[in-house]
């Protein structure tokens, strides 16, 4: 059974996704003009991606699959083991890229670009987490 921290990360993932969905209830123009929404969306997108990474790493370790050398490789390992499909594996890599930008501030992410990314990642991250949870349930692994 995975550590209790996995369940906490799953719960935190869903809270971040819910916050992002709420933020998306405003128009793109309202979003761009509201620095608090921009900051909240950056943080919650980062948290959602990091929770996805952590839960996926826990599954990989529990199943004793090969150890990922990078966060991006986690998506490939999930694909190899049929937890997610090719499209979601690519979206996993993209999510890690966005997370890296947000965490390390490699480049500035314009508010309009952030808004569009949130829309896309709320959908793809939700699918990824649902796939991971479904896989865990099929294998009788309690997240």
**Residue 143: inside a domain:** no
pTM: 0.93
**Residue 81: inside a domain:** yes
Question: What whole-number distance in Å separates Cα of residue 33 and Cα of residue 119?
Answer: 17
**Residue 19: inside a domain:** yes
C-alpha distance from residue 126 to each of 3, 16, 48, 54, 137 (Å): 22, 11, 9, 15, 16
Q: How far is CA 18 from the centre of its chain?
A: 13
**Residue 114: inside a domain:** yes
> Residue 114 is part of which domain span?
4-138
Task: Kindly give the confidence (pLDDT) of every residue in the chain, 143 residues in length, as a single tens digit, with 9 standing for 90 and above.
Answer: 456 789 999 999 999 999 999 999 999 999 999 999 999 999 999 999 999 999 999 999 999 999 999 999 999 999 999 999 999 999 999 999 999 998 887 567 899 999 999 999 999 999 999 999 999 999 998 76
| Helix or strand run (H / E) with residue 70 | none
> What's the number of CA atoms in the CB half-sphere (13 Å) around residue 2?
26
Q: Which of 124, 63, 65, 134 is nearest to 99 (CA)?
A: 124
**Residue 131: inside a domain:** yes
Number of domains forming the structure of the chain: 1
Residue 51: give its domain's CATH number: 1.20.120.580
């Amino acid at each position: 059974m995975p550590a209790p921290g996995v369940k906490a990360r799953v719960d935190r993932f869903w809270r971040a996704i819910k916050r992002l969905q709420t933020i998306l209830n405003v128009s793109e123009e309202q979003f761009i003009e509201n620095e608090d929404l921009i900051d909240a969306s950056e943080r919650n997108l980062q948290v959602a991606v990091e929770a996805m990474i952590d839960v996926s790493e826990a599954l990989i370790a529990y199943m004793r699959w090969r150890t990922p050398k990078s966060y991006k490789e986690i998506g490939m390992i999930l694909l190899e083991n049929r937890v997610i499909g090719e499209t979601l594996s690519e979206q996993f890599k993209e999510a890690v890229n966005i997370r890296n930008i947000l965490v390390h501030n490699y480049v500035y992410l314009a508010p309009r670009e952030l808004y569009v990314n949130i829309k896309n990642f709320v959908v793809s991250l939700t699918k990824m987490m649902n796939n991971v949870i479904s896989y865990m349930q099929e294998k009788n692994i309690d997240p």
